[in-house]
Structure 1
Amino acid sequence: MARTAGSHSDITGPRVRDAALKLFAQGGFAAVSMRAIAAEVGVQAGALYNYTPDKQTLLFDLMERHMNELLAAGTDDPSLAPQERLKKFVAFHIRFHHARPDAVFIAYMELRNLTEENFARIEALRSRYESGLETILRDGVAAGVFQVSDTKIATLAIIAMLTGVNTWFRTGGRLSLEEVTAQYWDMVRRAVT
């Protein structure tokens, strides 16, 4: 099938992903058709198949891209004290996710719509991210500065708490993102010491 006149794969491909991200976040994966995505991009529905074989692959690609960006952006410096590493993790997690609310929403709420194989691949990426925080917690326990009886549960609880900022925080509200981050750091610090 010929490409629509004036379209370019390096422009239209990202537009397809952006439109799918927006529409999946607004209406949910199951409710969004390929026709709706095509209409948002301004192409014929059939043209989408030049960029993705199907809607499932598009969903998986969005989630995988988000997780890979998260893993690439997050860094841990084991030479720092565990408290400092944890503080940096808290600030990073809140900032990174705040800048990507649609991707975060989809990464958590649309897991149920992945095929078994795609789910396993996304879960493996999520586990890699979680293990970074768990390593910080284990190192803090080993150093005697954190008191955590189960580092896996603490890891999941901290990530859930930090990710929850996206559900209620609004720029221009009572507190700035920096003030919220400072308060969340205080809560996390007290939870592990």
Structure 2
Amino acid sequence: MARKTGSHSEITGPRIRDAALRLFARHGFAAVSMRQIAAEVGVQAGALYLYTADKQALLFDLMQDHMTNLLAALASLPPTDSPAAALDQFARFHIGYHLDRPEAVFIAYMELRNLSPENFATIESLRRQYEDRLQAILLSGVQSGAFTLPDPKMATLALIAMLTGVTNWYREGGRLSRGDVQTLYAEMALRAVGRPQA
């Protein structure tokens, strides 16, 4: 992303990105213009191009930041002592991280179709890295006899879809706390991989 140098760049750049995130999530990438983003920030439309090449670059930067931050947060988790503990940890982490970022999650999944082929390939590579971390947990569980799965790759995609789906319905202050949801979904994930009953 092209970034303006000077004392205001550290303020205006993030404001543009925040505005784009909100508007893309609310209206969809295709329906939002650079003029709308500028109006949200309170600058002239032409000023946006001091901070970004175009709307496509804005979308790509938002999605890339989301994925790289997600991977970094996952990598910082403490080690676990079993595949079951690792899957429990992954499920709780995934739900907690994504519930804190519903707009970024919506864009990351719904706006892939609007990326250029080159940008799509970059984001898909980052997504595969995340999926690979979960798949490694499942393969470890199968190899140790802790899990029974006919297709760990398919199970990986199914579990991520299930865990991400929480962002579609969960609201703070509802019947279940965030911790309750994390516990219930972690238990469902363990059951889904055929963890032997104690």
In which range does the TM-score fall when normalised by the shorter chain?
A: over 0.9
**1:63–1:103 CA contact under 8 A, matched in 2:** yes
Secondary structure of 1:156's counterpart equals helix
1:13-41 alpha-carbon deviations (Å, 9 max, x no partner) = 00000000000000000000000000000
> 2 CA distance for matches of 1:31 and 1:191?
39
1:59-89 alpha-carbon deviations (Å, 9 max, x no partner) = 0000000000000000366662000000000
1:135-192 alpha-carbon deviations (Å, 9 max, x no partner) = 0000000000000111110000000000000000000011001001111111111111
- Please list, as runs of the form range in 1=range in 2, the aligned pairs for 1:89-108 lying within 5 A after superposition: 89-108=90-109
RMSD: 1.4
Q: Which runs of 4+ in 1 moved over 3 A?
A: 76-79
**2:66–2:104 CA contact under 8 A, matched in 1:** yes
In the alignment, which residue of structure 2 is the partner of 1:28? 28
- Please list, as runs of the form range in 1=range in 2, the aligned pairs for 1:140-151 lying within 5 A after superposition: 140-151=141-152
TM-score scaled to structure 1, two decimals?
0.95
With over 3 angstroms needed to count, the CA separation of the structure-2 counterparts of 1:77 and 1:137, relative to structure 1, is: farther
**1:77–1:85 CA contact under 8 A, matched in 2:** no
In the alignment, which residue of structure 2 is the partner of 1:41? 41
TM-score scaled to structure 2, two decimals?
0.93
> 1 CA distance for matches of 2:155 and 2:98?
19
**1:134–1:151 CA contact under 8 A, matched in 2:** yes
- Please list, as runs of the form range in 1=range in 2, the aligned pairs for 1:43-82 lying within 5 A after superposition: 43-75=43-75, 80-82=81-83
With over 3 angstroms needed to count, the CA separation of the structure-2 counterparts of 1:9 and 1:170, relative to structure 1, is: same
- Please list, as runs of the form range in 1=range in 2, the aligned pairs for 1:80-159 lying within 5 A after superposition: 80-159=81-160
* Matched AA of 1:179: D
Q: State the number of aligned residues.
A: 189
> 2 CA distance for matches of 1:131 and 1:36?
38
In the alignment, which residue of structure 2 is the partner of 1:189? 190
> 2 CA distance for matches of 1:70 and 1:79?
19
Q: Which runs of 5+ in 2 are unaligned?
A: none
* Matched AA of 2:96: R
Secondary structure of 2:150's counterpart equals coil
**2:35–2:45 CA contact under 8 A, matched in 1:** yes
In the alignment, which residue of structure 2 is the partner of 1:14? 14
In the alignment, which residue of structure 2 is the partner of 1:179? 180
Taking only the aligned residue pairs, the percentage that are identical comes to 63
> 2 CA distance for matches of 1:162 and 1:147?
20
